[in-house]
Amino acid sequence: EAGVVQSPRYKIIEKKQPVAFWCNPISGHNTLYWYLQNLGQGPELLIRYENEEAVDDSQLPKDRFSAERLKGVDSTLKIQPAELGDSAVYLCASSLGGGESYEQYFGPGTRLTVT
């Protein structure tokens, strides 16, 4: 069974440019998460989707970050404009359901460098 797929794996952009990350969750997983992980720290949740609905976006900096999951499967996370402090790894995860008993499976992440 394929795991969570993310692309691109690496991205280097100049500050003030836009950037987008794509995630394809494990087939059948209704719940999708985007996390941000800074060097030497644990992942921090940005947004959680149940199917196509964003049920928790309280940690998403909405002035520059946006996300969508139009058909309840793939998801895109966008940053516009990017700032130097956005350099981090952006991880996508998915789970069968939104309850705490469901294991979250992580993708390999997109490593963003903003110069």
Q: Is there binding between residue 100 and another protein (CB under 8 A)?
A: yes
Measure the CA–CA gap between 26 and 32, rounded to whole angstroms.
Answer: 9
Sign of the CA dihedral with 28 first, then 26, 106, and 71 last: negative
Q: Is there binding between residue 53 and another protein (CB under 8 A)?
A: no
8, 44, 83, 84: residue in contact with another protein (rule CB under 8 A)? 44
Q: Is there binding between residue 95 and another protein (CB under 8 A)?
A: yes
Which residue, 28 or 99, has its beta carbon nearer to another protein?
A: 99
For the beta carbon of residue 99, count every other beta carbon within 10 angstroms: 8
Which residue, 25 or 107, has its beta carbon nearer to another protein?
A: 107
Q: Is there binding between residue 41 and another protein (CB under 8 A)?
A: yes
Which residue, 42 or 85, has its beta carbon nearer to another protein?
A: 42
Q: Which residues contact 64 (CB under 8 A, 6 or more apart)?
A: 79, 80, 81, 82, 83, 86
| Cα separations in angstroms, 12 against 78, 87, 100, 105 | 14, 9, 35, 26
Residues at the contact surface with another protein, assessed by CB under 8 A: 31, 40-45, 48, 55-56, 91, 95, 97-104, 106-109
